[in-house]
Structure 1
């Protein structure tokens, strides 16, 4: 999980730094192009990996990647418009949407804890965004849209994982999302980059791949009731970065809302673990 924490935390300021030079489409093109190059090289070097790249359920892969692309675009754009802590706190509603979609789409059982995670998630959203008051920031809706899209992508992954390997899912993710990003990019955008952009470019290229790999392995080898609480450490870490480097205020309402969201997620995880 330390790899996940470092990847996502480093990615946020790198996206904000590059947004002064590149569009969000172009920034995400760097991430997907790097991932595709690395995964293609691995597939060429290891024949057994190539055998995993079957074309079964491509429609589901495509659905997952449209949702993942949409969520990634909205999340990245929000990082340029909102304090980091607000973005990360609202992103934590993703498990609440997953719990809801699992009932509505996958037909899983509605439990008290699933109702709780949704209700506490909505209460947390109200505390963080404060709709109808002067402090409301419309860009918060971008993060909520991203969380819903990420949840839809997670539901697709849940269905794919029974027949696809993690390598195949990541490979098709980069194959499908690279054209989506390039469609909104200046194809010669690399000419805009200066020497000062080299570090954030490297961070985005590397963290875009390591975040997915580390998170997948964390859930493979660790219990979700341990992995998720560690993931929540991203909030205080990114809040400190925002405060130290960007003079972003440490808003108590954001942390109070995040506490409600996290409480709901942990309740649902505890209930699911007891039911195993």
Structure 2
């Protein structure tokens, strides 16, 4: 039986509460980003929306992170890995925007919640962090939850769900390469390359995908997708500076509340019972994996009672 952990000092408790508030705000901004991208996808090419997201985000981030204010920020020990990681993030973004043209917000986020399950599964061969039997069972149950959401071959989701599944794989490999780069490059360098590489790769496609927005709202949302992304990632960084990832990770799942609310308010979407049931299975599996991580991290003498 796991013993109760001692209460943290008052300052640490305040930091944790502030971090939880920051992570909740971050996932709200990510939900606003996806909602804006879905709205724009009705009239604009997803590649154009993705480019706007990168250009505006890079402009905002560059106000704080650039070679002049942070000398040496472009210096990386693993340039090829930085490029590959940035390409994975770009793929995840574009595939998600493609899926959002056809799927409800809750459906896309339910599939993307399988990302931590893939990370746990792939960390063995790629990082040497092998999952034990209990974690493998949790991963398997989580993937069953994804099947409940997508219902392949049973007339379930639109085939565009495959875009979301592919994006989930991209994001899982992106997360693993981020951990690999943490040992060699500072986070500021990694964040700088994330936006810059994606923007440079998308710019050549602009003449082929550009369509002039037909109303003021579309122009506003094109700017907003980049601002929402930049602000969300900034809040994410601030949150992780104040509390460990194992404390914050469960609150990331609160994004499904925002996505359900925005999907209903903006698009009139009401998710079916299969989507909620599958999302519940995926979230429960993810939370169990987090629990196992916390148990394994406790000192052996203090982790359990006989």
TM-score, scaled to structure 2: 0.83
Counterparts of 1:1-276 in structure 2, within 5 Å, are: 1-43=23-65, 47=69, 49-186=70-207, 189=210, 191-192=212-213, 194-276=215-297
Counterpart contact for 2:107–2:271, Cα < 8 Å? no
SS of 1:132's partner is coil
- Cα deviation, residue 214, structure 1: 2.1
1:43-85 deviation digits (Å, cap 9, x = unpaired): 45963x2223203201000111111111111111111110111
Greater Cα shift, 80-89 or 180-189: 180-189
1:158-195 deviation digits (Å, cap 9, x = unpaired): 01112222221111111111122223222794744532
Counterpart contact for 1:32–1:178, Cα < 8 Å? yes
Greater Cα shift, 49-58 or 75-84: 49-58
2: CA distance, partners of 1:183 / 1:246: 32
SS of 1:162's partner is coil
Counterpart contact for 1:26–1:186, Cα < 8 Å? no
Counterpart contact for 2:114–2:168, Cα < 8 Å? yes
What is the aligned residue count?
275
- Cα deviation, residue 153, structure 1: 0.4
2: CA distance, partners of 1:139 / 1:254: 15
Counterpart contact for 1:24–1:77, Cα < 8 Å? yes
1: CA distance, partners of 2:284 / 2:184: 33
Counterpart contact for 1:95–1:151, Cα < 8 Å? yes
Bigger radius of gyration: 2
Counterpart contact for 1:90–1:143, Cα < 8 Å? yes
**Structure 2: which 5+ runs fail to align?**
1-22, 298-306
Greater Cα shift, 219-228 or 23-32: 219-228
- Cα deviation, residue 250, structure 1: 2.5
* CA separation of 1:46 and 1:190: change in aligned 2, threshold 3 A: farther
* Cα root mean square deviation, aligned: 2.0
Counterpart contact for 2:213–2:219, Cα < 8 Å? no
1:14-57 deviation digits (Å, cap 9, x = unpaired): 1122223321111111121122223333245963x222320320
Counterpart contact for 1:116–1:268, Cα < 8 Å? no
